[in-house]
A = this chain, B = another copy of it.
Amino acid sequence: MTDPSAGNLARRFLFPNSVAIIGATSAAYKSGGRRWLSLIEANSGARLYPINMSADGLNGYKAYRSLRDLPEPVDLAAIVVPSAHVARVVEDCTATGVGAVVMISAGFGETGPEGRAEEIQFAQRVRAGGGRMLGPNSAGVFGATGGVNLLGWAVPKGGIGLITQSGNMALTFTNYARVKRTGFASILAVGNGADLRLSEVVDMLLADDATRCLLIYCEGFAEGDGRRLVDLLRRAGGVKPVVMLKPGATEAGKQAALSHTGTLAGDAAIAEAALADVGVVIAEEAEEAFDLAHALAMGRRLAGRGIAVLSDGGGHATIVSDCAGRRGLTLAKFSPATAARLREILPMRAGIDNPVDFAGMAESDPGCVPLALAACLADPGVAGVVFAGHFGGYHLMTGHEPTQLKVAAEEVAAAHDMAVAVRASDKPFILHSEHAERGLATLEPIFRADVPVYGGLEAAAKAMAALAIGIAADAQTERHVEPAPSTGPHGRVLLEPEARQRLVAAGIAVPAWHVATTVAEARAAFAALAGLGAAKVVLKLISDRAVHKSDVGGVLLDIGSPDAAAKGLRHLMALARELGDDRATVLVTGMIDKGPECLVGARHDPQFGPVVLVGTGGILVELVGDVASRLAPFDSALAAELIGRTKVGRLLAGYRGAAAGDRQALGDLVAAVSRFAAGAPDLLELDLNPVIVNAAGAHIADARIVVRP
């Protein structure tokens, strides 16, 4: 699957038989000292060679002056000497044929073009000796199975493989692993990337059996290396999940990345799309990146999007459910068997619909948690379970010591039972606990069952959502103002002439119109409108059988003569008869000169009262999703500000040479609609769509009003 040399490289860096540190010392406050000590501590059997200019031995190991003095060529050499000495040490590497070099020494590519040229030469020399190099300016390497730790700090073992362009982020992620009770299979800090590029290091970890999920901190790729990574991951076919944190979408971020790793962050959207196409999970924040990798390293996956949310209380349940919903998950509908079982387990005050609200029950009887968990895991409609609340710390919620001890013991028993339930299932279970990161013994059985435990509510939800990898995405729940009819069924829809009359009565200018039922009336209407200057007219069928006129062909445009008007009327009346409506009429009004089409709407919101909406109109209003809203009423100045928030507002301002529309007229109309909406207690919905805005004004081309029945 991967480059044939990747396994070989991984062996040298992560499973070396012999390791030298050039610049080793026993002084723990020095960079070379910390790393020598972490290497000794981690070592699982490799031969270790400290290289030091003066000492004869370090911590019981014989010390040497140079790589050339060693009894063997080493698999792995770490260089931790001042920059002035690096060139000489590199020559020693070349001469002795070191297989893998970790150059921790800094002061090269990050200082400018001269340093960059130097480090490229080091890379060439190492390769000339048959080796490959990580760094310079690398923080080091950690390999759990092979017993390598050149980072200088203790690293907990686990299933995450970390690749990072920042040494500080290696430390940050290590800190997360400590408090979250998980760990790393491997850590590779690529530093300046003079030789081994990010894509090659990823290839190494794809080949490493202990690495169950890759976590990558990447500010940018070397030229073409983003492409190499995508090609590699496509070939690998999703064999291991990859989570990436990739700052640099903003100017400030790009500026920082450039001065840090010297990488041009490039076009963030292109990078994200390309990486997402091969299954890379792009995290938005550092802790989130770690949390997702933690969950994915567990190995379990969601087989569907419906989950169960259990909680100690409604607030936690709501936050978890909402966040999971935003990430494409849904609340599963429980089977009757599950519902019956939950009713047995939980008291009457608990909510047993999904999300399940324990309503404080678990505080006094933690044993109900594993029972409910097992019931949910057994439900075929439930793909995974999140429990949110205070588990592990119920005993801390009482100040009464005997009770505290009793509850703590019950929590430990419940945690054991939860572990049993989890092991009996292959579905993912994720725990949120306020007490996740306090090292409580009550959570030990859960940590040991490899259940990810999060201190953040949203962290738990996002982690669960990340386990939906490979499941065809539903239409994600979107957050937008819904300008479509929502109260229609509960309200009465006015026919358009009546709607227009309401507007006129409210002092809102509506283009002249006539209602015709006969050919003669249609001709007369045409003549009257022509007299007002309309060269062409529109005919619209008015029928309560055809609320969506254009969907049934009930709108005739560009009618240019009295004869055409007469013909159109006959056609529409015939259409009405087909629809079974013998009370239909035809509305005749002038064609409006071209211009951007806007929506001006109003809603009665139950919580906020009258609200006005404005944005891009036409039949594509929902598709475009360009709507801004404000509580009514407001004046023309605020209307103008509201219009300015929309894309169509920018268009009307004469964007890129487009003809400017009469924004003042639109603002006045929007303000007038806001006054109308605020003063009409029976109004449920108003849609003026389109309002055609041209240089001569803002013209209402269609009006729809829904009132309380």
**B619 x A168 contact (CB < 8 A):** no
User: In the complex, A325 Cα to B252 Cα: how many Å?
Assistant: 5
Is the beta-carbon distance between A400 and B256 smaller than 8 angstroms? Answer: no
- Nearest CB in chain B to that of A348: its residue: B111
Given contact pairs A398-B29, A656-B620, A260 touches B314 in the complex (Cβ within 8 A): yes
Q: List 26 A-B contacts (CB under 8 A).
A: A28-B398, A28-B399, A34-B398, A111-B349, A164-B315, A166-B313, A167-B313, A172-B315, A172-B434, A223-B606, A227-B608, A230-B631, A249-B479, A253-B321, A253-B322, A255-B355, A256-B355, A267-B605, A270-B605, A270-B611, A277-B631, A285-B457, A286-B319, A619-B656, A619-B657, A620-B656
> Is there an interface contact between B609 and A315, defined as CB atoms closer than 8 Å?
no
**A524: CB under 8 A from chain B?**
no
Minimal Cβ-Cβ distance residue in B for A317: B256
Known: A165-B315, A273-B481, A551-B657; 14 extra A-B contacts, CB below 8 A, are A29-B400, A106-B359, A111-B349, A175-B434, A225-B607, A249-B322, A252-B321, A252-B325, A253-B318, A256-B322, A257-B322, A259-B314, A269-B482, A286-B458
The verdict on A34 contacting B153 (CB below 8 Å), with A273-B629, A605-B270, A630-B274 known, is: no
Beta-carbon contact of A169 and B106 below 8 Å: no
Which of B169, B251, B551 is within 8 Å of A477, CB to CB?
Answer: B251
Tell me, in angstroms, the Cα distance from A286 to B320 when the chains sit together.
10
As a 0/1 sequence over residues 622 to 633 of chain A, the CB contacts with chain B under 8 angstroms (1 = contact) are 111001111100
* Complex CA–CA separation, A354 to B258 (angstroms): 11
With a CB–CB cut-off of 8 A, which chain B residues contact A338? none
Using A259-B357, A607-B225 as known contacts, say yes or no to A457 and B322 having CB atoms under 8 A apart.
no
Nearest CB of chain B from residue A499's CB, rounded to whole Å: 21
| Identical copies of this chain, number | 2
Interface string of A161-192 (1 = CB under 8 A from B): 00011111101100100000000000000000
A607's contact among B220, B316, B355, by CB below 8 Å, is which?
B220
**Separation in Å of the A593 CB from the closest CB of chain B?**
17
Q: Knowing A260-B318, A651-B620, say if A481 contacts B270 (CB, 8 Å).
A: yes
Instruction: Name the residue on B nearest A111 (C-beta).
Output: B349
In the complex, whether A496 has a CB less than 8 A from a CB of chain B is no
Are A259 and B655 touching (Cβ within 8 A)? no
CA gap between A264 and B611 in the complex, in Å = 17
Known contacts A168-B314, A330-B252; A608/B230 CB under 8 A: yes
A689 at the interface (CB under 8 A from B): no
What is the minimal beta-carbon distance from A114 to any residue of chain B, in angstroms? 14
- Taking CB atoms and an 8 Å cut-off, the chain A residues in 594-637 that contact chain B are 603, 605-609, 611, 619-620, 622-624, 627-631
Tell me, rounded to whole Å, the shortest Cβ–Cβ distance linking A514 to chain B: 27
**What are the interface flags for A263-301 relative to B under an 8 Å C-beta threshold, 1 for contact and 0 otherwise?**
010111111011001000000111100000000000000
Say whether A113 faces chain B, with CB atoms less than 8 Å apart.
no
Q: Lowest 6 A-B CB distances belong to which pairs? A: A166-B315, A253-B322, A260-B314, A250-B325, A252-B325, A168-B313
- Within the complex, the shortest CB–CB distance from A708 to chain B, in Å, comes to 14
Contact B322 A247 (CB under 8 A): yes
- The reply on A331 being an interface residue by CB < 8 A is yes
A620 contacts B658, CB within 8 Å?
A: yes
* CB neighbors of B among A389-409 (8 A): 389-390, 397-400, 403
Within 8 A of B (CB), among A456-482: 456-458, 477, 479-482
B interface footprint on A316-339 (CB within 8 Å = 1, 0 otherwise) = 111111111110011100000000
A323 to chain B, nearest CB (A): 7
Q: How far, in angstroms, from A169 to B271 measured CA to CA in the complex?
A: 38
Tell me the smallest distance from the CB of A669 to a CB of chain B, in Å.
19
With contacts A267-B605, A611-B274 taken as known, whether A620 is within 8 angstroms of B655 at the C-beta atoms is: yes
Residues of B within 8 A of A457 (CB): 172, 285-286
